Amino acid sequence: MVSGQSFSQWDRQPLVRRMADCNPMAGNPLKTKADLQAAVAGFYAPLVPWYSPGNARLRLSAGSAHYDDDAAEMEAFIRPLWGIVPLVAGGFDFEDCRRFVEGFSHGMDVNHEEFWGEPGDFDQRLVETAGIALALLVAPDSFWRPMSEPAKDKAERWLLKINEREVPDNNWLFFRVLVNLGLRNVGRQWSEEAVHAALERIETYYLGDGYYRDGQWGHRDYYLPMALHFYGLMVARYAGDIFPDHAARYRERARIYAQDFQHWFADDGAAVPHGRSLTYRFAEGAFWAACAFADEEVLPWGRIKGLLLRHLRWWSKMPIADRDGVLSIGYAYPNLLMSESYNAPGSPYWALKSFLVLALDEDHPFWAAAEEPPEALPGGRVFSPAAGFILRRAPGDAVMLTGGQDGREHRAHDAKYARFAYSSAFGFSVKADVTLPDHPDRSAVDCGLAVSRDGLSYLSRAVITEEGVDYGMVWGAWQPDDRLRIDTWLDFAGAGWHVRLHRIRTKGRLFVSEGGFAVDRTGERDPAFAGGLSHESGRAAIVTPTHTSAIIDLSGTRAGEIIRAAPNTNIRFPRTLFPRLVGEFPAGEHFIVTAVYGVTDPVEALPPVDLPEAVRALCAENGVTV
């Protein structure tokens, strides 16, 4: 017997549901401030047995990141504070503040055995100083003032090292800003010069229309809302007196960005997964919390509240924690395949940034507003030239089309930055291997392109060399060497559809594989499931009880296939199928057109493709009939 159930009853309960019950937010309605307070307390409770004797470290797993274990254990200690600090600031009776006071005192004391170590250039310890700065800014009476004077002196000296060390030319500059503002807030030494220099450098990242690039690599992903905008809004709240121009810019840019960013969230609260660091999970919604914290009504308060709380509710149903309730590395389930080299066991707790609203009083307009229903959200096509995205919200899904980015710095960058479409309902897959002659169906290049010169070893589209807007569509060019270049244009083409136009210039024979959206195949042993799979010349389709995915060759006769992807490659579902087109092209120039369909319903017959005029014009120029 297990918890009063017979084995047969237990066995029939889906594994995903059983693991989702370990989620600290499981069963929480997440509607009120008290609900969110309970959620943060729930995230903290499983961590308690794993604190070090001196409370300065948290050791959660034997897994590693590229940085040393001392930094990883500091990170695990600090990151829960993104939820705990606002919890305390908002009036919750949290009994363990002393644990963190002690941890701060010991971790920044060079003579203590739990000393975190001296921060070096480009050191992970510099990242985690932002969590300490949060405590100094938002709840100093609970986390700073109880420290002894000698401990404060040591902490000040250790924190000021961030002004002496080199940091990457990206969002890390905000950590320097926040630490200095935190020290200023508690009456300690700080550097106005260092803050001003960092803010001025961050200004060079701004692209316009509310968008930033994240430093030298130019990424445009969730680091915009959860980092650059998030920290900018904290500066607006705490440094408007000394940096009024920057504060005003951050507020105005957040108001502009919110108009587009609301389209990243589907009606059920799920967000479009895209780019790196997705193990931070519901930090996807942290922008809305930061807007409220800064008293910035970027959208009506009821809409901001609905976007944030629906997002948290969606995550409350996902199996994102281990059996003891500790957050795992992964996205919608534990999954190291999609992780980054900088994801240590404590890294996922940056998700708690979305609980910043707990610092607000109960009568704040965010809490006082009635939650706006998802039906009130705007729909339609949203084009963001500055970011190179086209977005569309639809019932049950939110989809982003992109020409791609150069994300080579990150693991699985081809999947995270160079796929054609990113969907809240379908996710995307990181490839396990596309060089398997005996098992060619084990690759997982869904919603993407892979090419081969011998038909055996395939290369997935990656490292986009040029991208932007062309013909009113998003566009990207992939040129892996001097023998091949593929330009791709993308746009939506009616309900559920998007269209891709590829111009291939190859100096030799080329095999091309192109994928559609991946769907969950958990129920594939059901005879009705098998009946929903079809493929023939020029098309392939999958219809399940919950999704429909199809791909059609509009310009030729590529073969249609149904691919069973390697397990644990898709970030949304552990086991997936996806439709694919495959073809062979001789040396020369070729122009091919693909229509891709994806909806969160079983569809008996696919609706017609509604090609935009720009698509027809580009096809006509290239002599293609569709």
Residue ranges of E strands in 99-154: none
CA 49 to chain centroid: 29
Among candidate residues 376, 411, 432, the one where a domain is terminated: 376
Angle of helix 286-293 relative to helix 301-316, nearest 10 degrees, comes to 140
Tokens of 441: 């169906």
Q: Do 105 and 57 lie in a common domain?
A: yes
Give 599's contacts (C-beta < 8 A, 6+ positions apart): 394, 396, 397, 495, 496, 547, 548
Tokens of 94: 């949290």
Give 410's contacts (C-beta < 8 A, 6+ positions apart): 276, 340, 416, 417
**Nearest-CA neighbor of 562 among 609, 595, 515?**
515
**Nearest-CA neighbor of 485 among 589, 343, 359?**
589
Among candidate residues 376, 409, 425, the one where a domain is terminated: 376
**Nearest-CA neighbor of 201 among 173, 220, 181?**
173
Q: Do 234 and 329 lie in a common domain?
A: yes
Q: What pTM did the predictor assign?
A: 0.95
Which CATH number fits the domain that encloses residue 387? 2.70.98
Among candidate residues 319, 354, 376, the one where a domain is terminated: 376
Q: Do 305 and 404 lie in a common domain?
A: no
**Nearest-CA neighbor of 76 among 99, 46, 51?**
51
Angle of helix 286-293 relative to helix 230-238, nearest 10 degrees, comes to 10
Query: What pLDDT is recorded for position 15?
Result: 58
C-alpha 308/C-alpha 302 separation (Å) is 10
Is residue 159 within 8 Å of residue 135, measured between CB atoms? no
Dihedral pair phi/psi, residue 36, rounded to 5° = -70, -35
Query: What pLDDT is recorded for position 6?
Result: 44
Is residue 270 a part of any domain in this protein? yes
Which residues in the chain show pLDDT less than 70? Answer: 1-18, 432-442, 526-528, 530
Is residue 474 a part of any domain in this protein? yes
Q: Do 324 and 413 lie in a common domain?
A: no
Q: Count of CB atoms within 10 A of residue 621's CB? A: 10
Q: Do 335 and 463 lie in a common domain?
A: no
Is residue 494 a part of any domain in this protein? yes
Q: How many domains does the chain have?
A: 2
Helix (H) or strand (E) holding 596, with range, is strand 588-599
C-alpha 451/C-alpha 435 separation (Å) is 11
Order of strands, edge to edge, in the sheet holding 397-402? 380-384, 389-394, 397-402, 421-423
Q: Provide the 3-class DSSP secondary structure of residue 462.
A: coil
3-state helix, strand, coil in the chain (%, to 5): 35, 20, 40
Positive or negative torsion for Cα 420, 275, 37, 346: positive
Positive or negative torsion for Cα 104, 109, 111, 116: positive
Is residue 341 within 8 Å of residue 276, measured between CB atoms? no
**What are the tens digits of pLDDT across the range 360-397?**
999 999 999 999 999 999 888 898 888 889 999 988 89
Q: Do 371 and 505 lie in a common domain?
A: no
Is residue 177 a part of any domain in this protein? yes
Q: Do 412 and 364 lie in a common domain?
A: no
Which CATH number fits the domain that encloses residue 155? 1.50.10.20
- What are the distances in angstroms from CA 7 to CA 91, 237, 302, 593? 44, 55, 45, 52
C-alpha 432/C-alpha 471 separation (Å) is 35
Tell me the Cα Rg of the chain: 25
| Domain containing residue 168 | 9-376
Is residue 2 a part of any domain in this protein? no
Q: Do 286 and 399 lie in a common domain?
A: no
Q: What is the largest CA-CA distance in the chain?
A: 77
Tokens of 143: 């986390």
Is residue 502 a part of any domain in this protein? yes
Q: Do 253 and 348 lie in a common domain?
A: yes
Query: What pLDDT is recorded for position 1?
Result: 29
User: In terms of DSSP bridges, do strands 497-506 and 510-515 run parallel, antiparallel, or are they unpaired?
Assistant: unpaired
Query: What pLDDT is recorded for position 85?
Result: 98
Q: Do 304 and 387 lie in a common domain?
A: no
Is residue 3 a part of any domain in this protein? no
Dihedral pair phi/psi, residue 486, rounded to 5° = -125, 120
Q: Do 492 and 344 lie in a common domain?
A: no
- What are the distances in angstroms from CA 370 to CA 22, 236, 303, 354, 376? 30, 26, 9, 19, 13
C-alpha 270/C-alpha 178 separation (Å) is 30
Q: Do 334 and 398 lie in a common domain?
A: no
**Nearest-CA neighbor of 124 among 169, 65, 181, 179?**
65
**Nearest-CA neighbor of 357 among 365, 349, 345, 347?**
365
Query: What pLDDT is recorded for position 432?
Result: 63
Q: Which residues pair with 398 in a beta bridge?
A: 393
Is residue 52 a part of any domain in this protein? yes
Query: What pLDDT is recorded for position 457?
Result: 86
Question: Which residue carries 């004077």 as its tokens?
Answer: 149
